[in-house]
């Protein structure tokens, strides 16, 4: 049991709001008490004391969109983009070659390094996709490597039609042998529904096949222009539609009336010179939003959620509270890991009865991001500074 004390402000991301001069008690990896330091029950006096040094504490970031299984980099493509070239989905094929030839051992080492880098930036929960193998053997390898280290793994065989392949034949492989092999290792299926990748009919085929195989749905949509991704995601009840740079009013209304989270990827938007998502338009319409890093070598070679949150505040006109919520509880909702009501005394558990993510509430995972600052506004006030002091996952320190 641990008693975290000397917390200048505890951002609970719950009805309890921000508690000044707070304390938090952990037992068995979950939170058992939160409140003002002056009210810690005497029963917890014997717990191991962790002095947070008058620092701000918030839930660990929930990074609900990454592509961490890859080898190689595309620095030249990025440099060309900075010189004026457009981003095109075809660059994925470059990473495909490097990923196919890496081997499971190297992919695993790279994944572990990426998880550690995420922890160093305050991230405690990760989703990762496959999607750079693009054949049954390599997609299976990616899924197995990912499943050994990441709880939420997404099958993204439908990331790009590999060079030289016929699109319809490739989709048939994705929804047939590839899905059959990969499904036991993943919980989600995704499709890049975009010009240059997969059209609406192909995307629907992929998502419906995934659902029939027991997987839950996510969609890459509306990244490079208007398109059917958002409407398809809402229609099929996807947990999240990600990118959402180009939205019609009908898209926004559909999202607002749904349980599909709109996941914004600001680091990607800056790296691809796409317009940043109109966060205010979404929030003001009542859409549930998330912020994620989209770590990948093509469009967002960063896992820094701090950077994403900073961008959301400075450039997307989100309040600090909104940005923190989007990067914690919003991400948890996009992964269906948020606390939901259960019968009886169960509190702080997700729909599957696991400790919930993204909120500092009793019963939830004790995933903490301790900032090296007295208040959380330093995330935006001191952009780019090393503001993460410590990261704790399920009550164990994983960074700092």
Q: Can you tell me which of 4, 192, 246, 307 binds ligand NIG, judged by CB under 6 A? A: 192
Q: Is 191 in the site for ligand NIG (CB under 6 A)?
A: no
Q: What is the smallest separation between the CB atom of 235 and ligand NIG, expressed in angstroms? A: 20
Stretch touching ligand NIG by CB under 6 A, among 174-182, 292-300, 305-313, 352-360: 292-300
From 98, 107, 102, 96, select the one nearest 162 (Cα to Cα).
96
Stretch touching ligand NIG by CB under 6 A, among 110-118, 171-179, 296-304, 305-313: 296-304
Alpha-carbon distance of 400 to 392, in angstroms, equals 9
Q: Is 294 in the site for ligand NIG (CB under 6 A)?
A: yes
Cβ atoms of 238 and 218 within 8 Å: the answer is yes
Cβ atoms of 106 and 71 within 8 Å: the answer is yes
Q: Which residues contact 173 (CB under 8 A, 6 or more apart)?
A: 135, 136, 157
Alpha-carbon distance of 163 to 80, in angstroms, equals 21
The structure tokens 């948890």 sit at: 332
* 132 annotated ligand-binding residue: yes
Binding mask 48-67 for ligand NIG (x = CB under 6 A): -------------------x
For ligand NIG, the closer CB: 2 or 220:
220
The number of beta carbons lying within 10 Å of the beta carbon of residue 176 is 12
Within residues 227-266, the interface with ligand NIG by CB under 6 A covers none
Q: Which residues contact 12 (CB under 8 A, 6 or more apart)?
A: 18, 19, 34, 59, 359, 360, 361
Stretch touching ligand NIG by CB under 6 A, among 33-41, 278-286, 294-302, 328-336: 294-302
Alpha-carbon distance of 393 to 125, in angstroms, equals 8
The number of beta carbons lying within 10 Å of the beta carbon of residue 200 is 13
* 74 annotated ligand-binding residue: yes
For ligand NIG, the closer CB: 294 or 328:
294
Q: Can you tell me which of 205, 220, 357, 369 binds ligand NIG, judged by CB under 6 A? A: 220
List alpha helices for the chain, DSSP H. Answer: 75-82, 92-100, 104-120, 136-147, 167-173, 179-182, 200-212, 229-235, 249-256, 266-272, 279-284, 305-315, 320-325, 331-334, 378-381
From 354, 356, 283, 362, select the one nearest 323 (Cα to Cα).
283
Indicate the SS3 state at residue 217.
Answer: strand
For ligand NIG, the closer CB: 142 or 364:
142
For ligand NIG, the closer CB: 25 or 267:
267
Q: What is the smallest separation between the CB atom of 186 and ligand NIG, expressed in angstroms? A: 17
Q: What is the smallest separation between the CB atom of 297 and ligand NIG, expressed in angstroms? A: 6
B/e letters for 318-336, b = 16+ CB within 10 Å, e = fewer, are bebebbbbbbbbbbbbbbb
Q: Can you tell me which of 34, 47, 57, 92 binds ligand NIG, judged by CB under 6 A? A: 92
Q: Is 158 in the site for ligand NIG (CB under 6 A)?
A: no
Question: Phi first, then psi: what are they for 319, rounded to 5°?
Answer: -70, 165
Residue nearest ligand NIG, Cβ-based: 298
* 298 annotated ligand-binding residue: yes
Alpha-carbon distance of 277 to 275, in angstroms, equals 6
Q: Can you tell me which of 8, 12, 95, 144 binds ligand NIG, judged by CB under 6 A? A: 95
Annotated binding residues for N-formimidoyl-L-glutamate: 132, 296, 298
Which positions touch ligand NIG (CB under 6 A)?
67, 91-92, 95, 192, 220, 223, 268, 294, 296-299
Annotated binding residues for 4-imidazolone-5-propanoate: 74, 132, 159, 223, 299
Annotated binding residues: 65, 67, 74, 132, 159, 220, 223, 294, 296, 298-299
Annotated binding residues for Fe(3+): 65, 67, 220, 294
Annotated binding residues for Zn(2+): 65, 67, 220, 294
């Amino acid at each position: 049991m641990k008693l975290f004390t000397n917390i200048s402000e505890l951002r609970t991301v719950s009805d309890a709001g921000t508690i000044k001069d707070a304390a938090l008690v952990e037992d068995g990896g979950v939170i058992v008490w939160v409140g003002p330091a002056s009210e810690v029950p005497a029963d917890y006096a014997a717990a191991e004391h962790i002095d947070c040094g008058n620092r701000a504490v918030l839930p660990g970031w929930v990074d609900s969109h990454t592509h961490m299984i890859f080898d190689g980099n595309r620095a030249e493509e990025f440099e060309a983009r900075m010189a004026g070239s457009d981003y095109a989905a075809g660059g994925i094929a470059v990473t495909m070659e490097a990923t196919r030839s890496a081997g499971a051992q190297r992919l695993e080492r790279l994944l572990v390094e990426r998880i550690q880098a995420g922890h160093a930036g305050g991230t405690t929960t990760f989703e990762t996709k496959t999607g750079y193998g693009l054949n049954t053997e390599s997609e299976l390898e990616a899924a197995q490597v990912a499943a050994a280290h990441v709880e939420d793994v997404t099958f993204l065989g439908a990331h790009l039609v590999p060079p030289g392949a016929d699109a319809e034949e490739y989709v048939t492989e994705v929804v047939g042998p590839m899905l059959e092999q990969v499904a036991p290792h993943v919980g989600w299926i995704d499709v890049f529904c975009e010009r240059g990748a997969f059209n609406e009919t192909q995307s629907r085929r992929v998502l419906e096949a995934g659902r029939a195989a027991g997987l839950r749905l996510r969609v890459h949509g509306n990244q490079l222009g208007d398109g059917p991704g958002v409407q398809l995601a809402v229609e099929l009840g996807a947990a999240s539609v990600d990118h959402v740079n180009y939205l019609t009013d009908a898209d926004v209304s559909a999202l607002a009336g749904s349980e599909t989270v709109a996941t914004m990827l600001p680091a990607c938007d800056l790296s691809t010179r796409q317009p940043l998502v109109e966060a205010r338009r979404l929030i003001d319409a009542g859409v549930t939003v998330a912020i994620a890093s989209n770590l990948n070598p093509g469009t967002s070679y960063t896992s820094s959620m701090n950077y994403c949150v900073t961008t959301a505040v400075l450039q997307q006109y989100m309040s600090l509270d909104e940005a923190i919520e989007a990067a914690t509880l919003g991400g948890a909702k996009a992964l269906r890991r948020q606390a939901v009501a259960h019968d009886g005394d169960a509190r702080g558990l997700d729909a599957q009865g696991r400790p919930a993510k993204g909120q500092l509430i009793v019963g939830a995972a004790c995933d903490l991001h301790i900032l090296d600052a007295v208040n959380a506004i330093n995330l935006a006030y001191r952009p780019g500074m090393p503001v993460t002091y410590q990261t704790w996952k399920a009550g164990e320190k994983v960074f700092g």
